Amino acid sequence: MRFLTQKWAYVGAAALLLTPAVADAQGQLTGVRTLIGSVISIVNILIPLLMTLAVAAFFWGLVKVLWGGGEEASSNGKTLMIWGVITLFVMVAVFGLIQFIAGNLGISTGGSLTPPTVSGGASSVPTP
């Protein structure tokens, strides 16, 4: 029961922290746009880095297999190579799936995000 109370406390805190963004939903959303742009920039930097680490893990496993010097080192190297290949496969498959879906839905990738806006305002409401 204590876990549920603590969980709802976190949900409430998150809701309070997000209230300014929700209140500015009809405004310019510059803070949210900046946040989204920053997250996208970080992800765009991390993806090639993670692919490089997966390739490095594969080759490190290959080095362990070839020059490990023992059965245990060879076994660890094979495991590392297998996980390196699995990681690369998953990353490339997800990238390809996203490109395939975006292409079929007519979504251009690599562009900027334009949030929807509400036209009009308080002055556009007809008076009785």
Does residue 77 or residue 22 have the better pLDDT?
77
- pLDDT computed for residue 85 by the predictor: 92
Mean pLDDT value across the chain = 77
* Mean pLDDT along residues 117-128: 58
- Compute CA distances 54 → 3, 34, 45, 50, 80, whole Å: 37, 30, 15, 6, 10
- Of 4-13, 34-43, 69-78, the poorest mean pLDDT is in 4-13
Separation between Cα atoms, residue 7 and residue 83, nearest integer Å: 34
User: Domain residue spans in the chain?
Assistant: 48-106
